[in-house]
Structure 1
Amino acid sequence: MSLSLQLFRLQRKLANSEAQVIELAHLIRQLKEQNILLNHQLHDTHREFEFYHTCLDNLPPPDIYPVISSYYQYLSSTYNSRLEEVNPNASIAAELELDQQDRVTLEEQLADVTANNKSLQSSVAVLEQQLADAKRETQESASAHAVLLNKEKDSVHRLTITVQKSRMAEDALRAEINELTTELTEAQPYQQAYCALADEIGSLLTRNQIAEEEATNLSRLNAQILGHNNPAQRIMYVDRIRRELAEAKHNIAMLTRDQDALAAQNENLQNELDMYKSVTVPFADKPRTNLTRIARVPLVNLNIHADSSLDESM
């Protein structure tokens, strides 16, 4: 920028100098014409002076001397006035010579400035090429950054959608956990009843085992009775064994019925407990509670959730 300003100033100075040189050339031409005219007049004056001097040498009559003297004074005054006019022209010529020297100096400066201008123009061309390359690289970089920005926006949009889905899944899972917790709390009495039935079934199985052992003992006693030799004692033993066997059969029948009833009740409780725990139970068979179960949203990858949460926080 400073070089361009300096070049512009030098060009303006050169233009002013050229205008001054043109004016000085016109002035010099005018002065030369005036000098030529004055030289002609001076030459004519010298010729007249020589003529009159020759006339003086020829001894004119005495009455002509005053006329000649007055005319000589007239010519002298005219000559002096013309000399006074010539002296300013000489100063103008000196100024013209100085202006010519200044013109030579300005022409040399103009040549230097022209050379500098050419070098500056070449430098400007190189800089313009570099500027064009830089603009092209900047445009390419801006285009690449715009593409990357669009990709990042798409990634952020996808991550936002993923975060929203993850939050929905988390909320649904939390609601399901709360619902399952409530249902588990409501199912605790059934669990206690199931445990009580399991204990009762265990006691019934124990009683059944005791009854089977008692039947085995009765069979063994029956065999002993059959091998007894006293008929009266055999009849008494047989009657007692018959009564005990009948009581044992009655107890076994009662235990079997209680066991079947407990097994059926246990199966019903187990099915109902499974329905409380399961999600895929038909709506008609689902037990009524104060909460409504919703379908579970598919869980996403926890790593993606963590990364998206981290990106959102950043």
Structure 2
Amino acid sequence: MFPRGPRFPAPKAPDVPGPNAYNPQDPEYDAYKRGAFLEKTNRFTKDNPSDVPGPGTYNTETNATRSKPPNNGTKSNVDRFAVLQRKLEELERVHTDGKKSHHLELERLKLDLSRAQRAATEHAERADKLKKQNEQLEARLQELKKSTVSEQGDLRDLRIKLKAAEHERTQLAAKQGETSEMKKALQAAEAKRKDDLRERDRRIAELERGLQSEKKKREMAEARLADVKGKVDMESQQARAAVSDLESQLASTRADVYDTKASLEDLKAQAADTEEELLERLEQHRALLARVANEYGRLAAATVHKSHHIRVQDQSNNLQLRVFRLERKLANADGQVVELANLVRHTKEENIFLAARLREADEEAVFYARLASELSNPLPDPPAWRELDRCLDNIADGLQRSRAEIHERITADFSTWVDLHRLRDDALVFHSSVLLKALDQTNALAQRHSTQLTDAQARCTELQTTLATAQEDCANAQEQLVETKVALEKCQALEAALRKDLDNTRAQMQQEASKGEQLLQKEKDANTRLADTVHKSRMAEEGLQAEIEQLTSDLAQAEQYQEAYNGLLEEVDALVAKNALAEEEAVRLSKFNAEIVGHRNPAQRIVYVDKIRRELHETKQKLLMTSRDRDAVQAHNEDLQYEIALYKSVAIPSEYKPRTAVTRVERAPMVTQGLSISKGVEHGKSISVPSARLASMPEMEYEQGGMTLDEIM
């Protein structure tokens, strides 16, 4: 047996410091009050040396791959990348907020501008309207002045006419008695005329109603007459079509009788043949099923469990039966198709043969009839001919009877239809005569009423003309005097009102013109301010857009380089771990091989080797897990040290300061922004050069502002 020894190597001392290994100092919260000289203090402590190797530490071309690079660079890169991404998100959020506020302000200014423009256009239109109104008022004033001059002349003329009218009034006073009698006569004539008009209107309305009713009756009679004619024509056509259909059906039934008799015999023969074929197939299928069952039983008993065999056998039997049924259906369908084709062909041939036989029978009948007429003493016929003659006589009698029945039915139907049409024609003729007579009477009555209406209208027009002339002569004299007085008073009042309105409109126009000028000046000032704000907002938006584009491009490049760097680090870690494990496994295998060679029992040797392999596999897994945990703890320790160092200095970058409710954004001018963009591009080009070596992390100094691509990589 082998001597007992340690199964696993001695555990190494961990690199992670224990509790109270470092002594963090309290930060000085009032250091910002002492001035700017404190910013020159060291940012990090000098007691703990950095574990990050310097440039040129690794040489990937050599074969020594035992040393494992630290993983703190990756962690710091990830943190810086997260900080940069968070800063980019904050910038985007600030940009979106500013853009939204800018858009809102722009919309508000646009609304104010449109409102001011509308008000300006309204004021301008109102000023134009007032100018036009002023011009119209001035023109109207001139016209009124001219009209007053002309009215003064008319007033003189009216005074002269007034004197003449007074003279005529004295004369009319003498004739007032005669006019009163004339008025009474006119009133009586007007009352009589109104009564006549009412009676005439009543009669005219009654005549119009009667005329409309007669027109409606005439239209209804004409529509009924047209419908009756259409129905009679359609029924006659249907009767003719029915007669032709009956004749065609009779011919088709005769042909079907002969066809069915022939096809019945063929089907009987074919049914016998198919029955024999089906019996043969059934015997074959039974034999096949028996053979298949025997074979499957033998195989199942030899190789498979009984329950499984029974289940599989049932499934196979069901499937086989289904296959047989489908094959049988397919064969039946094929056979039926072939048989139908043969049947159709056979029926066609038999029809041709029967037609030929019928022609021959007709010829023979003609021949025998001629012989019978020629021979005075007929010879005794054989029994076959007698049977044939009897059949022919029966068929001829049946045909004659069917023809006679069809002829009788057709004649009966035709007679009934003739009677029906005759009755309908008589009724239509009677109705049409009645309607025509009533129509003639209504036409005569309408003509008589129309003549009466024209006479009444003529008398009414004559009375209206006489009455109008009398009233006009009486009212003209009175209206002229009243109109002259009223016109004079209206002209005086209108002149005073126009003068007052003219003064008011002039004052209002002056006030509105001054207000419009003030509003126009305010709108001009607002437009200039709005244009300035729009220009500034556009410039700010363009600057933010350029900054966002630069940050997005830098972020994309940083992501590419970060992914490549992480991939290289993972490959290096894997190679180093594999190399270390391979060397350790080689040493252990050499020892175990030496021990196995010294062992003499083969069975014990195999068990021992299997046990050793399992233990080696477990140790490999544990070693990998511990190495990963160790790297993670080292990275976390470095982050904690870095954070503690940040709390010791006043010059903390803006992105690491504690957040407040107010977000401040440092925006560089356009010139410096362009320079930073060019620097970033140059750095990206210098970093993207391919190299065969694994580049080490350079030592970086944090400055005020954002990180560059060198810090990310």
Q: Greater Rg, structure 1 or structure 2?
A: 1
Kindly indicate which of the two structures has a greater share of residues assigned to helix.
1
Q: Compute the TM-score of the two structures, normalised by the length of structure 1.
A: 0.45
Flag the structure with more relative contact order, 1 or 2, with Cα contacts below 8 A and sequence separation at least 6: 2
Q: Compute the TM-score of the two structures, normalised by the length of structure 2.
A: 0.22
